[in-house]
Structure 1
Amino acid sequence: MNTDIQNEVKSLLNKYRSGIISPEEFKTLTSDMNQLSDAELKNPFYEEWDNFTNYEPLSQDKINALYPRPEKKSHISPFIKAKKYWLQIAASILLVVACGITTLYYAQNQNMKYLAEQNIVINSGEYGTSLVTLPDGSLVHLNAKSSLSYKQDFGHNERRVSLSGEGYFEVEKNTDKRFIVSTDVMDITVTGTKFNVYAYEHKDFVEMALVEGSVNVTTKDPGHNTLSVKPKQKVIYNKLTGQLSLEETSNQIETAWLTKELTFRHEQMKNVFRCLERKFGVVFEIKNPHILQDVYTGTFNDENIESILRILKIHYGFEYTINNGIVTIE
């Protein structure tokens, strides 16, 4: 390697940068640079690149002295060659930086996408109810043994939640972004309304009862049946048969679990037991079906199911046992 020539080039470049190089020295610099390869010029140029931060351009007189006007034969200045080489180096550096920025952006974007797709899950307890406030201000009352989930970016593109169990929804109105409640068998689509959804996975049916507003219910089976629902109507989907039906309702039984007070006016006992099932998360097994046709009028304001059963026992003379959430009526 031409170490002596490299050292001479470094020295002459320093003079060139300082503006004190003579025409003779400039010719020597030109000759030396033409003798060196690109690889041998790399280190001197890198060092000179760092020193050019405070570069002052040469005066016009100095330029005229160093670069005499050619007559017939043109000659490419070594500094044009050097400039081209530096541009290649700069381009390589920019490429590396650009690749780094692109990689960083991609990693951050993937991380944000991953976070956005993560679900927030709210589980209610074994007993009692829970109140959830969603990011858009909508309220969800969860009954016992229920869960609600939604993505971290809820409300960014759409408002979608998934429900397992029972929930009463008070949806903030937004005509630009629909609110969708997804269960295992159907989707409930609204813009702003109040409705109750009963969708326990271990039950053979899913039910949606509308209190206010309007709702569209669409099944997830291949038929994708859709029903438009009005207030005081409820949709029932039978998981065993795939049948979707629409019924009238007062919403009393469907929403009784929301209040501490249960009021019945000449209500059949089968509906009373259904109400107690939903409020306390129990299952009734009736040994004598004739009791289901009896009617009851009264009010319960007790949060203890055994207290309620003792009152009903006095009225109808039955015996009962409770074991693992199953109430057996003898």
Structure 2
Amino acid sequence: MAELVHKHMTGSLSGPDSIELNQILTDPAKRKLFEELTDWHQTRAQVKIMSEGKTRVSWRQIEAAYPFHNKWYGLKKYLAAAAVILPVAGVVAWYFYAKPAQEVIPTVAPGPAQTQFASYHAKSQKAVWKRAAGLAVFLDELKNGVIGYADGEPVIKNDSELVYPAARRSNTLLTDTLQTLRGGYYRLQLPDGSKVVLNSASTVLFASTSGSSERRVSVIGEAYFEVVKDRTRPFYVRVPGLEIEVTGTKFNIEAYEEDNIIRTSLVEGHVKLKVGKQVTYLKAGEQAVFTASKQLEVKTDATLVKDAIGWKDGSFVFKDNTLKEIINELCRWYNLEVQYKGEIPENTYYGIFSRSSTIESILDYLQKQTGIGFLVDGKRIIIQP
């Protein structure tokens, strides 16, 4: 298990490794241990040792810190039997279980999280670039290189990334738009050097030049930000009903209209959230949840934050998500519509699997774990409890 934990944290899990790990995680005790081990603040020393090839030594150190090690021998025997009798499906990383809708999320001390900007290559370059003058183009139809100009300097397309030039500060700002379509994924470098990763079916509006006193963008959908520090010019992100103010930080904002919820997950630094007259401050390892009922809740859980940015590294990571939220995300990525036949339970679920998996393999696992029927009919998912 030590090697599997190490591979998970370094993003090097193979398909067979993922299947083996997820079989282990069907045991709630082992899942709890896994979540504790994958908290970077607690295990960075062990990971360093493992990266030097001392896996057995590091596992003994981990065993000494947690109460589950006496069951490891029995677990190995269980896995050997499971490898023979359990089918191996096409989902690269998956485990799934239902929980009561009101279950309390455990609280752990916040700590630094590992991130790597845009380490996941897009499934598709499906994105539309719209200039302030009104011209709109599909970026996947353009070759790499100079595709336009901002403030007289070239704007460059590099595969699934759009790079704006460092621009002089100006009080006259023109707003450009980058929009990903369903099944799309794109990266953006703003004129101030800040970086944005857009998830599928998302939009970011931004100034093509750099403001003299502040920096502002608006987001619909989901985006991950790495904001360049500049205390003289705060950076504002606006989503419907919420404004985020930062000077330099890394965070994820999820604000899809159909989900009726806004999640702000802070990886590094500090941010200030404004909801009307209400002001809330977040620090690294915290997630703010703003619901349709205008309630704002702050959760202190570093694993929640790590899970929230799993999408940009090529994974679906669901934690305490309803089935409708899960289906909405799958539909956005696989460009599908959904039809519900009957009432869907409000249970929440926990699951991890690869975004390169087929939709059929994911729905097959969902059906086995939830008991709900799923059918793909052309470009539509039909769900019947």
Asked if structure 1 preserves the Cα contact closer than 8 Å seen for 2:176 and 2:208, the reply is: yes
Are 1:255 and 2:309 an aligned pair? yes
Of the three residues 311, 324, 329, the one matched with 2:365 is 311
Of the three residues 298, 308, 332, the one matched with 1:246 is 298
C-alpha separation in 2, matches of 1:184 and 1:294? 26
The CA deviation at 1:205 is 2.4
The CA deviation at 1:173 is 1.4
Q: Deviations over 1:234-273 (max 9, x none)?
A: 222233x322222234224422321223467xx66x4676
Query: Unpaired segments of 5 or more residues in structure 1?
Result: 1-113
C-alpha separation in 2, matches of 1:306 and 1:161? 37
C-alpha separation in 2, matches of 1:134 and 1:122? 11
The alignment's TM-score, normalised by the length of structure 1, stands at 0.54
Q: Deviations over 1:162-206 (max 9, x none)?
A: 111111111111122111101121110111111111122344222
Matches within 5 A, 1:55-134: 116-134=172-190
Q: Deviations over 1:109-163 (max 9, x none)?
A: xxxxx99343101111121311111111111111111111112333333111011
Evaluate the alpha carbon distance shift between residue 303 and residue 125 of structure 1 in structure 2; reply closer, same or farther with a 3 A threshold. farther
Of the three residues 169, 176, 194, the one matched with 2:232 is 176
What amino acid sits opposite 2:290 in the alignment? Y
Evaluate the alpha carbon distance shift between residue 193 and residue 129 of structure 1 in structure 2; reply closer, same or farther with a 3 A threshold. same
Are 1:149 and 2:205 an aligned pair? yes
C-alpha separation in 1, matches of 2:219 and 2:225? 11
C-alpha separation in 1, matches of 2:202 and 2:182? 8
Relative contact order, CA 8 A, sep 6+: which one is greater?
A: 2
Q: Deviations over 1:70-93 (max 9, x none)?
A: xxxxxxxxxxxxxxxxxxxxxxxx
Are 1:292 and 2:344 an aligned pair? no
What amino acid sits opposite 1:150 in the alignment? F
Runs of 4+ aligned residues of structure 1 deviating over 6 Å after TM superposition are none
C-alpha separation in 2, matches of 1:284 and 1:253? 28
2:154 paired residue number = none
C-alpha separation in 1, matches of 2:305 and 2:341? 24
C-alpha separation in 2, matches of 1:183 and 1:202? 14
Higher strand share: 2
Higher helix share: 1
The CA deviation at 1:295 is 6.1
C-alpha separation in 1, matches of 2:357 and 2:222? 18
Give the length in aligned residue pairs.
209
C-alpha separation in 2, matches of 1:322 and 1:199? 26
Evaluate the alpha carbon distance shift between residue 182 and residue 194 of structure 1 in structure 2; reply closer, same or farther with a 3 A threshold. same
Evaluate the alpha carbon distance shift between residue 151 and residue 293 of structure 1 in structure 2; reply closer, same or farther with a 3 A threshold. closer
The alignment's TM-score, normalised by the length of structure 2, stands at 0.47
Query: Unpaired segments of 5 or more residues in structure 2?
Result: 1-169
Asked if structure 2 preserves the Cα contact closer than 8 Å seen for 1:233 and 1:247, the reply is: yes
C-alpha separation in 2, matches of 1:263 and 1:200? 16
C-alpha separation in 2, matches of 1:325 and 1:153? 41
The CA deviation at 1:218 is 0.6
Asked if structure 2 preserves the Cα contact closer than 8 Å seen for 1:260 and 1:303, the reply is: no
Evaluate the alpha carbon distance shift between residue 285 and residue 190 of structure 1 in structure 2; reply closer, same or farther with a 3 A threshold. farther
What amino acid sits opposite 2:300 in the alignment? E
Moved more, 140-149 or 277-286: 277-286
CA RMSD for the aligned pairs?
A: 3.3
Corresponding residue SS for 2:184: coil
Corresponding residue SS for 1:116: coil
Of the three residues 161, 166, 191, the one matched with 2:222 is 166
Are 1:225 and 2:278 an aligned pair? yes
2:289 paired residue number = 236
C-alpha separation in 2, matches of 1:152 and 1:314? 49
Are 1:135 and 2:191 an aligned pair? yes
What amino acid sits opposite 2:251 in the alignment? F
Larger Rg: 1
| Sequence identity percentage | 26
C-alpha separation in 2, matches of 1:291 and 1:121? 36
Are 1:277 and 2:328 an aligned pair? yes
Corresponding residue SS for 1:308: helix
Corresponding residue SS for 1:148: strand
1:320 paired residue number = 374
Asked if structure 2 preserves the Cα contact closer than 8 Å seen for 1:300 and 1:308, the reply is: no
Asked if structure 2 preserves the Cα contact closer than 8 Å seen for 1:167 and 1:198, the reply is: yes
Q: Deviations over 1:258-293 (max 9, x none)?
A: 1223467xx66x467645633652769595756936
